[in-house]
Amino acid sequence: MYLKKLNPKSMKSENKRMILRYLIENGSQSRMDIVRKTKLAQSAVWRITEELIEEGLLEISTRRKRATIVAPTKSFMTAVVFNVEVSETTVAMGFLNGSWKVVKRFSTPKVFEEFKEEVRSSLQEAIKIQQVVDGKLPKLVFSLPGMVNNEKAFLIHAPNIGWKHIDFRKEFEDLGMEILADNDSNLSLLAELFFSQDVKKSKTSFFLYLSEGVGGAISLNRNIARGENFAAGEIGHVIIDLNGSREVEEFLSISKLIERVEKLVQLKGKTPKEKFHHLLHLWLLGDHGVKKVVEEYLRHLAVVLRNIIYFLNPGVIILGGLVNNLWETFGFFVKTELQKITDEEIAKVIIRDTVFKEVSPSLVGGNVLAIESFLKSVN
C-alpha cells in the first residue's frame, strides 16, 4: 500500500494523503521512519510534514537528538459518532489520530423524532466540549443496526428498532455538517481494515457482529462488499432451521441468549452488556443450567462459523459487537465443536475477537468512515 510510486499529476496531494494515512494507522513516527515505509524522497517527506504541521493536521510529539517524532493532531475532531444499538445509543467524538472519547449514552427511542431531538442536544454537548480546529466542522456519523445505503446515508430498514426509509442527510441537513451513515457490521469491519494487519493482508475477511441482533460484513480485496441492495453479509437473516424457519439471529443474538438464561436465573444488570457479564460469571462458577444453555449457543455459533468458512473461505473471521471477548472466553469450546464438523484444511482460518475492547467496534468504524472521507479532501 505504501510502496507504490504515484502519478506525477497528483503526486503532492497523493503523497500528503499517504503520509497522513500512514501516521493515523501507525501512530507517532520519525520522518526517517516515514521515508523508509513510503519510499518517498527524504526532501518530499520533510516538506510535506512541515506543510501538514502548518495546516494543523500533524504535531510534533517529541524531539530527539537526531529525530523529530510527528503524529496526527490529537485535538482535530473528525467526527461526532452516534452508535445506535437496539437498547442504547452511544455518542462519541472521533479524532484524526483514530482515537475517540465517549460523550454520553441514552436509551434508543423507538420514535425517530425523539431520536432527532437527542442528536441535536448531544451534538451541542460534543461541540461545546471540543473546540473546532480552524472552523472545520466534524462529520456527523450514524452507525445503524440495519440495511443502509451508505452512498446516500439512507436507512432502508432497521427491524429491531422499527425504523424504515429514513434519509439521514435530509433529516439533519439544517446542521450544516456532512452526514455519513452505514451499517454497524460494515463499520466494524472497516475499523479492522484500517488498523489490523491480518485483515489488511487477507483477500477475504468476515466480521460476525453479535449484539441484540446479528449482522455480518464481508471484505473482498480490502474493500467492503455491500451487494446490489446493500444487504451483503446479513447473515442474521439466514435460515438454519428449515422446519421452523428460524433465522441465525434467533440462535446467536446476545439478547436471545440472555432471555434463555433468565428462564433459569435472574441476571444482574440493567443493560444487555451488564447481564452478559453476570451470565459469564455464572458460567465460570460452573452453574449447570447456565452451562447447558451457553454450550447450546456455542454449538450454533460453531455451525454458523462453519457455513461462513465453506461459503467465503476467508482468511480472518472476527467476532465482536455488544460482546468483544467471546472468542477469548469460549474459543476453545467453539474450536473443538468446529473441528468435528469442518474439514481440517478448510478450517485453517484465523478466528479472533475484535481488537477494540473498550467500545463497540462500529463506533470506531464510524470515526474511520469520517477519516476516510476527510483524507479524500486533503490537497
Q: pTM, whole model, 2 decimals?
A: 0.93
Asked if 180 and 275 sit in the same domain, the reply is no
> 16 is written with which cell numbers?
500528503
Tell me, what's the pLDDT at 214? 97
State whether 127 and 236 are in the same domain.
no
Residues 329 and 258 in one domain: yes
- In the three-class reduction of DSSP (H, G, I as helix; E, B as strand; rest coil), residue 202 is classed as coil
Cell 446493500 appears where? 230
Position 113 scores a pLDDT of 97
pLDDT at residue 242 in the model = 67
Based on the domain organization, do 55 and 91 belong to the same domain? no
Orientation of helix 288-312 relative to helix 272-285, angle to 10°: 110
Same domain, 342 and 327: yes
User: Do 117 and 222 share a structural domain?
Assistant: no
Residue 310 counted as domain residue: yes
Report the pLDDT value the prediction gives residue 54, as an integer from 0 to 100: 92
> What is the distance between the alpha carbons of residues 165 and 253, in angstroms, rounded to a whole number?
24
CA distance 27 to 40: 18
Q: Is residue 1 in a domain?
A: no
125 in the same domain as 253: no
Average pLDDT by stretches of 10, the chain with 379 residues:
52 91 93 92 93 92 75 91 96 94 94 96 79 72 97 96 97 95 98 96 97 96 95 93 83 96 96 94 95 96 95 96 95 94 86 94 97 92
In the numeric block, the cell 493515523 is attached to: 24
Kindly state whether residues 93 and 65 are assigned to the same domain. Answer: no
**Are both 263 and 160 inside the same structural domain?**
no
Q: Judge whether 140 lies within some domain.
A: yes
pLDDT of residue 216: 98
Q: How many structural domains comprise the chain?
A: 3
The single residue listed with the C-alpha cell 450454533 is 300
Q: Are 207 and 320 in contact (CB under 8 A)?
A: yes
| 23 within some domain | no
Same domain, yes or no: 96 and 228: no
Residue-level pLDDT at 12: 83
Q: What are 139's strand-pairing partners? A: 79
Q: Give residue 27's region: left, alpha or beta (phi > 0; psi -120 to 50).
A: left
- pLDDT of 211: 95
Give the span between the Cα atoms of 317 and 320, in whole angstroms: 10
Whether 344 is in a domain gets the answer yes
Single residue among 49, 73, 97 that ends a domain in this structure: 73
Task: Look up cell 472466553; give the residue.
Answer: 329
Whether residue 81 is contained in a domain is answered as yes
List, in sequence order, the alpha helices (H) in the chain.
Answer: 11-26, 31-38, 42-54, 112-129, 168-171, 184-195, 197-201, 248-252, 254-262, 272-285, 288-312, 326-341, 361-377
Same domain, 229 and 333: yes
Reported as half-sphere exposure (CB side, CA atoms, 13 A), residue 96 has a value of 26
Q: Is residue 12 part of a domain?
A: no
Domain that holds residue 268: 200-353
Together in a domain, 165 and 140: yes
